[in-house]
Amino acid sequence: MKKDPSGQRNVEYIVMDPAKQKRKYARMNVELDGKVRISGKSAFHECKIVDIGSGGMRLHGGSLLYEGDSIEVQFQLEENKDLAISGPVIRTQGKYAVIQFPEKGLENFIASIQEFINKNLFTSENAQKLL
C-alpha cells in the first residue's frame, strides 16, 4: 500500500499483480476522496473511490445509490488534477456503486486515469513487489 508522500491528501492504493487482471482494462484499488450527487440534485455527498480503471470505478457513497441512477462524481486523481465524470450506476452492493465509463467521448479523462495506473501500477519498484 502506498500513501501520498506530501501527506496533504488522503490517498492510498494497493498494487495488484497485472497477471491476475481478468478485465479488459487494468484496475487499481485506491482510496481517493471524492464527492457524488445524483444528477439533477444540488447537494454533493462525500464518497470514497475504492477502485478505478480505464473502464470504470467503484465508490462507497455516504448515501444509497441504485442501479440506473445517473450520478456525477468529482475527485482529485493526483495533486492539481481535478476530474469529474457523469454516468449511470450499473451495479450496487449496499453503499457501493459501480460506474462504467463509455469507451468514446471521454478520451482525455480515460487517458488521465490510464496515466495514473501506468505510473503507479507498472513502475519498476512495484514490479519487484509482484515477483
Residues 99-125 have pLDDT tens digits of 988 877 788 888 888 888 888 876 645
CATH number, span 2-125:
2.40.10.220
Question: In the block, which residue shows the cell 450496487?
Answer: 92
pTM, entire model: 0.71
Q: Give the phi and the psi of residue 21 in degrees, each rounded to 5.
A: -70, 125
Model confidence pLDDT, tens digit, residues 53-105: 888 999 998 778 999 999 999 999 888 788 999 889 999 998 899 998 887 77
* Domain ranges for the chain: 2-125
DSSP label at residue 18: G
Q: Would you call 2 helix, strand, or coil by DSSP?
A: strand
